[in-house]
Amino acid sequence: MWTELLDEFERQEKEDKDRMTTMLETAIREELDCPEHYIDILRGSSFRPGDILKLSVKDTPVRVSSGVSIRKHTLCQIPYYHTHDFYELIYVYQGNAGQYLPGEKSALEMRAGDICLLTPGKIHAMLPSETYDIILKMILPRQLMRQILEELRSEERYKDRADILEKRNELYLFRAVKEETLPMKKVMESLMLELYSEQGYKMPSIITLLLLLFIGLGQRDMEYRRSGLVYAVTDYIQRNICTAAIDALAVQMGYSSRHLARRISEETGGNFSDMLMHMRVQRAAELLAETDLTMDEVARQSGYSSTSGLYKRFHCVYGMSPGEYRKIYRYQEGR
């Protein structure tokens, strides 16, 4: 089994090395919005950890996926701030890992056995891995995670934990517990073998293994990772997506609008409007994927006065039209 996994990791390393060198522009055009902007930033760059902090919330692309997968965090990947429309689970199988969050000047360090769960909308940047490290990144689409969380809610002792994990824009950290490390590693290995199998995988097996994984996490202590100001601003916008305004937030926080604007700029490299724009298009993306609302209604519930405003912003962040985004999810679900 271990030989099979090592072969797969080696294949991923080669694939990502090609994508980050000879195929860099193709990879960026496939994966990121506003590709020319990122090509200019990344081509020929040699990043040091501190360089990540120079990127701003204005430069934050949204990665999109409607399928479940596990990949090794390969050695050649360039760190950049990004977010997702899916859940991302990071598991340190071996070695150490690090990542930056906006507003934090030091990296969040993880060691072997630690697990981190990022919910949709959370911005982060993974540090490069070392040769010895095996860091696994799992994509868990929102629809699949809701199914897992509903199963957890059937057990009263996991209900509160399931409700917490459904929140957007959060990072939850589960530190390694010695007696639980081996069982968790076995579950991750089984998930990888199921996903990497040439014969394909059966969703019932994946769901069963994910339930085992989250039941195990439900028995661990959970740390919240929230940077004060950034979390306060995003929480306010989420609760007031249609009416959010910096003046109203400044009053709530006891600041002047000018002082709050300066602090947001210092911690994110952007401004309140940048954060509001990203979170409105993320809300629109959720509605497009999970409802049959008309475009007019999606725009209205996301805080836009017209569909033209939604179309323009959506394409800038997601690199596709709202209609194209909806088709991705309808195709996946067979609708």
CATH class (in words) of the domain with range 228-333: mainly alpha
Instruction: State both tokens at 56.
Output: 């701003």
pLDDT at 54: 55
Q: Where are the alpha helices (DSSP H) in the chain?
A: 2-20, 24-31, 35-42, 142-153, 156-165, 178-196, 203-218, 228-239, 246-253, 257-268, 272-290, 295-301, 307-318, 322-333
What averages of pLDDT result for each successive group of 10 residues across the chain (335 residues)? 75 72 61 58 52 59 85 81 91 92 84 94 87 93 92 91 89 85 86 80 86 90 77 89 95 93 85 89 91 94 92 84 86 51
Does 2-224 match 228-333 in CATH topology?
no
Q: Give the model's pLDDT for residue 135.
A: 94
The full set of domain ranges for the chain reads: 2-224, 228-333
Residue 107 backbone dihedrals phi, psi, to 5 degrees: -75, 150
* pLDDT at residue 180 in the model: 73
Give the per-residue pLDDT at 172: 94
Which class in CATH covers the domain with range 2-224?
mainly beta
Query: What residues are paired with 63 via a beta bridge?
Result: 84
Residue 24: predicted pLDDT? 58
